Amino acid sequence: MSVEPVEEAREPLVTTLAAAATYFSIAPGVRVNVRSGPGTGYPIVKVLPEGSRVQIHCQSPGSLVTGPYGTTNIWDNIASGQYVSDAYVNTGSDGYIRPRCS
């Protein structure tokens, strides 16, 4: 009886941005307004349901908001033209964790 070597299946070395993305939880039991800009003066474009998780692309200073995670003027850009106050996002930090939006 002979044994032939078997080649191992290899994973591709390329990692997609979606696979490498980090998502952050919205505060439990909270529905969060998503605004068109970094502040409460901007129109609401949608509402995130309880239990949502968001990817933060960049962050901007804006109007001051108090929420479950403190009082802050940091706003998280979660998609093109969509911002949520960092006071409602569990980033584990009181400061900026992503680059400033340009």
Residue positions counted in the chain:
102
pLDDT digits (tens, 9 = 90+) for 44-95: 999 999 999 999 999 999 999 999 999 999 999 999 999 999 999 999 999 9
Query: What is the Cα–Cα distance from 11 to 28, expressed in whole angstroms?
Result: 36
Q: Which amino acid is at 52?
A: S
- Number of Cβ within 10 Å of residue 26's Cβ equals 22
pLDDT tens profile 12-38: 544 444 445 799 999 999 999 999 999
